[in-house]
Amino acid sequence: MKTLNKLLQRQFQKYCGKEEHVSEECRELFRVISESYDHYEKDRKMLERSIELSSDEMIELNNKLRKEAAELSKTNQELKTLLENIEDVFFSFDWVENKTLFISPSCEKIYGYPQQAFYQDQNLCLNCTHEQDKEIVLDSLRVLDSGQTSHIEYRIIHKNGETRWLQAKMRPTVDNAGQILRVDGLISDITSRKEKEKKLQHAEANLRNLLENTDTAYVLLDKHANILTFNSLANELSLKQTGDQLAEGSNYISVLPAHRRQDVYDIIQKILDDKKQVTYELNVTLTGDPGQWLQVSMHPIFNEEHKILGLSVAAVNITERKNTEQQIRASNERYELVTKATNDVIWDWDIVNNKVFRSANYEQVFGYTEKEGDLYGASWMNCIHEEDRERVLDNLLGKIKSPDTILWEDEYRYNRKNGEQAYVHDRGYIIYNEEKEPVRMVGAMRDVTWEKRLALEQEKITAELLRRNNDLEQFAYIISHNLRAPVTNILGISNLLREVDVNAEERRKCMDGLVLSVKKLDEVIIDLNHILQVRREITEKRERVRFSDVVENVKISISNLIQKENAIIFTEFNGIDEIVTLKSYLNSIFYNLILNSIKYRMPDACPIIRITGRKEEGRIFLSFRDNGLGIDLEAQGNKIFGLYKKFHFHTEGKGMGLYMVKTQVETLGGKISVKSKLNHGTEFLVELEA
């Protein structure tokens, strides 16, 4: 054991002292072994001297030896613990006797076999070696046999069948005659490292394959602008531009044309300072052709601490795109000549690059300059009326995504810069590439505001003519029915009074009948005059009116009736409590509809009236819903808003209320409709201009 410890101490110290790669754990192990050996030598020499010592000295020496023996035992225990926990395998092999002198316990973890097996079977390590790597191990033995150090990496088959990668570093010890006495070595499990290297190689291969199969020239630089790597397209671009090839390690700026070096240097410094990418377009001469264009992007590369490690340079040849843009500009010049004679705004949308050309009269027609946003960017969408925006965008995108569609067309409201609202008729022709992908769209925006307003006015006139025609029919009906009866009575009484033999009593009765008929005739004429006055005399100034105030005014005016009938009125106007209108008309509409709901209530229930409002697409919608008697719309639906029409006869009234409501609503530019079911209440829907 003394010899073994001494040999291990000397060889480990020799092996460790000259190798920088040996871990701290290994160095600690060698230190412990060295200390153990020193203790052993000291003890041995002290024992030799003890023969000559006195008894007191012997006692002192004995105590000292016990103390040092305890320290030695502790050191040996630490050595054992270190050997048991170190991951690498240390071994010492007797080259002459062909036997293992020492192997650390970690061999069990790396090989899967117990430590004792390596003392018993001297060929176990070789037998565990992967069949394809045995020649590597045998070559290393031949290197050791020549007296040289051997470093190898090879595979073994673990006892559990797994393949593992090992790294062995071995150094021979020779005598004065040059004969090998012993080999000491260190074996490490590098399986994890090898797997990472394999993944890294695979990733590098994929990256290289990606870089070599792209239309972009790539160069990777360190932060001093020295070239780390590049793809073949970048090298080809350099040859065409300067005639020089790129080389790893050379300075990127130095291989550029002389007139570009300072600019590129400044750009790189800006990236290093700002830590932001820079993209620019560059006109270059390639193999004598000065009409080539490159788009160059430089990106900073960061580490985990967000410090710049280097830069990536990407260059794309955009000559074809530039030529296309030039052709578009030339084509647009022709469009400009055409648009000067029209109100059409010609536009040309490059869908791939999201660039749009617009004719100069865009500013003249709508007030916006070219600098105020792309036609098909956010500014265009924001200028479309908010109620039309989503519909127009969905329609446009739907057409573009359909390869079978070549024409898009839509009408929408467009906000001019001065705040006015224009009506636009927009048409666009969609151009697809060979893969049926949309690449371009050419079209025209036509300002059709005048035509639209004219059409709306014509519609309004037509509606007014229809309404007037209906009014004439109503008046004809009134004249034929409501006027006919009193006129007939008057004519009959007049003829009777002409007779000579009419006595005084009969004459009095005739006069009473004549007065009654004249009053009836006067009532009808007054009603007709009131209706005509409502339709043609709108002299009142429009003003801002609150719906809640109108309801309160009606409540006050019919408070006795509300209290008598226990009527309940609920209102909910959802934030649209105001409208600019004729106050008297709006009061009359609310008054008549609320009064009708109370008058025609269910006999066994309190009248409940719910008045709600909402705004939608620039219109205000009011709902008057009650729980009253209701109306049989199938039988009476076409008579609801007729003059002198009544559907319940247990209350007073002439049947003019709903006719007046409809007349006033239409005079305000609105509409009214009804939903009702007998004994299930009624709902009147009033639509007004906001």
DSSP 525-567: HHHHHHHHHHHH---SPPEEEEHHHHHHHHHHHTHHHHHHHT-
Give CA 206 to chain center in angstroms. 30
**Contact (CB, 8 A) for 238 and 286:** no
pLDDT above 70 covers a percentage of the chain that reads: 77
- Residue 180's DSSP bridge partners are 174
Distance between CA atoms of residues 553 and 246, nearest Å: 90
Average pLDDT, integer, range 499-505:
70
**Residue 189 confidence (pLDDT):** 92
Going by DSSP bridges, is the β-strand pair 619-626/180-189 parallel, antiparallel, or unpaired?
unpaired
**Residue 513 confidence (pLDDT):** 75
Output b/e per residue, 478-504; b: 16+ Cβ within 10 A: beeebbeebeebbeebeeeeeeeeeee
State the CATH number of the domain containing residue 506. 1.10.287.130
Shared domain for 286 and 434, answered yes or no, is no
- Banded model confidence at residue 575, pLDDT cuts 50, 70, 90: confident
Output b/e per residue, 177-202; b: 16+ Cβ within 10 A: eeebebbbbbbbbebeebeeeeeeee
Distance between CA atoms of residues 666 and 672, nearest Å: 8
- pLDDT above 90 (res 156): yes
- Banded model confidence at residue 375, pLDDT cuts 50, 70, 90: very low
**Contact (CB, 8 A) for 496 and 512:** no
Q: Is residue 481 part of a domain?
A: yes
Q: Is residue 205 part of a domain?
A: no
Q: Please name the amino acid found at residue 9.
A: Q
Q: Name the more confident of 135 and 66.
A: 135
**Residue 534 confidence (pLDDT):** 58
Average pLDDT, integer, range 7-12:
53
**Residue 2 confidence (pLDDT):** 47
Helices vs. strands in the chain: H and E counts, helices first: 22, 22
Shared domain for 246 and 123, answered yes or no, is no
Lowest-pLDDT range of 36-50, 60-74, 388-402, 422-436:
36-50
Distance between CA atoms of residues 409 and 381, nearest Å: 16
Shared domain for 293 and 390, answered yes or no, is no
Shared domain for 532 and 555, answered yes or no, is no
**Residue 356 confidence (pLDDT):** 78
CA nearest 439: which of 454, 451, 429? 429
CA nearest 594: which of 646, 500, 658, 520? 658
Distance between CA atoms of residues 389 and 414, nearest Å: 10
DSSP code, position 682: E
- pLDDT above 50 (res 381): yes
Quick one: tokens of 213? 């199969």
Q: Name the more confident of 4 and 571.
A: 571
Q: Name the more confident of 381 and 619.
A: 619
Q: Is residue 195 part of a domain?
A: no
**Residue 303 confidence (pLDDT):** 86
**Contact (CB, 8 A) for 156 and 118:** no
**Contact (CB, 8 A) for 103 and 115:** yes
Cβ neighbours for 246, distance < 8 A, ≥ 6 positions apart: 219, 227, 230, 234, 235, 238, 255
Shared domain for 25 and 43, answered yes or no, is yes
Q: Is residue 636 part of a domain?
A: yes
**Residue 466 confidence (pLDDT):** 79
Domain boundary among 432, 447, 462: 447
- Banded model confidence at residue 171, pLDDT cuts 50, 70, 90: very high
Quick one: tokens of 352? 């791939």
- Residue 294's DSSP bridge partners are 282, 317
**CA 140-141-142 angle, 5° bins:** 90
Shared domain for 144 and 170, answered yes or no, is yes
Domain boundary among 286, 317, 348: 317
- Banded model confidence at residue 376, pLDDT cuts 50, 70, 90: very low
State the CATH number of the domain containing residue 685. 3.30.565.10
- Banded model confidence at residue 4, pLDDT cuts 50, 70, 90: very low
**Contact (CB, 8 A) for 308 and 301:** yes
CA nearest 360: which of 372, 370, 375? 370
- pLDDT above 80 (res 283): yes
- What are the φ and ψ backbone dihedral angles of 464, each rounded to 5 degrees? -65, -40
Question: Which tens digit of pLDDT belongs to each residue from 320-330?
Answer: 888 887 887 77
**Residue 25 confidence (pLDDT):** 59
Shared domain for 558 and 586, answered yes or no, is yes
State which of 38-52, 324-338, 489-503, 672-686 shows the largest mean pLDDT.
672-686
Shared domain for 238 and 144, answered yes or no, is no
**Residue 419 confidence (pLDDT):** 85
- Banded model confidence at residue 111, pLDDT cuts 50, 70, 90: very high
Average pLDDT, integer, range 529-548:
70
Distance between CA atoms of residues 229 and 252, nearest Å: 11
Give CA 31 to chain center in angstroms. 62
Average pLDDT, integer, range 522-526:
69
Handedness of CA 303, 305, 306, 308 (dihedral sign): negative
- The DSSP code sequence of 481-516 is IIIHHHHHHHHHHHHHHTSTT--HHHHHHHHHHHHH
**Contact (CB, 8 A) for 571 and 551:** yes
Range of the structural domain that residue 249 is part of: 214-317
pLDDT, averaged across the chain: 80
Average pLDDT, integer, range 191-209:
82
Domain boundary among 317, 338, 365: 317
Q: Is residue 202 part of a domain?
A: no
Q: Is residue 193 part of a domain?
A: no
Strand arrangement, sheet containing 99-103: 99-103, 89-94, 180-189, 163-174, 150-157
Number of domains, the chain: 5
pLDDT above 90 covers a percentage of the chain that reads: 25
Distance between CA atoms of residues 587 and 224, nearest Å: 83
- pLDDT above 70 (res 286): yes
**Residue 474 confidence (pLDDT):** 59
Shared domain for 373 and 459, answered yes or no, is no
**Residue 479 confidence (pLDDT):** 58
Q: Is residue 208 part of a domain?
A: no
Q: Is the pTM of this model over 0.75?
A: no
State the CATH number of the domain containing residue 291. 3.30.450.20
Lowest-pLDDT range of 103-107, 354-358, 549-553:
354-358
Which whole-number Å values give the CA distances from 233 to 48, 181, 202, 287, 296, in the listed order?
Answer: 82, 59, 22, 15, 14
Shared domain for 617 and 481, answered yes or no, is no
- Banded model confidence at residue 1, pLDDT cuts 50, 70, 90: very low
Shared domain for 503 and 551, answered yes or no, is no
Positions of E strands within 214-253: 216-222, 227-230
Shared domain for 530 and 571, answered yes or no, is no
